[in-house]
Amino acid sequence: LGRNTVNVSGANFHSDEPKARASFGIGGSLNWGNGKFTAHAELTHQFALSGKRARDHVTKGQLGLRIRF
């Protein structure tokens, strides 16, 4: 973590990642057909504990379906 720099074909790229991050999330699942089908979802939000830049917030979602044979 911290400042990372890489050079690609003469162009420098860098990132200043915060050292401390926090996240929270919520999720759930629903079963039907005697457990043959399961749908699940999750939503998480992550943010830096230091700094006030808007880009330090990330929200992610995931959906899924499981079928048992």
- Quick one: pLDDT at residue 13? 80
Q: Is 2's pLDDT higher than 60?
A: no
The tens digit of pLDDT for each residue in 26-66 reads 999 999 999 999 999 999 999 888 766 666 788 999 999 99
**Model-level pTM?**
0.60
Across 9-38, average pLDDT: 87
The token pair that represents 43 in the structure block: 């939503």
N- to C-terminal Cα separation, the chain = 44
In this structure, is the dihedral angle defined by the CA atoms of residues 49, 52, 53 and 54, taken in order, positive or negative? positive
Q: Which residues are CB-neighbours of 2 under 8 A, at least 6 positions away?
A: 16, 17, 19
Residue 7 has pLDDT above 60, yes or no: yes
User: Per-residue DSSP letters for 46-66?
Assistant: EEESS---GGGEEEEEEEEEE
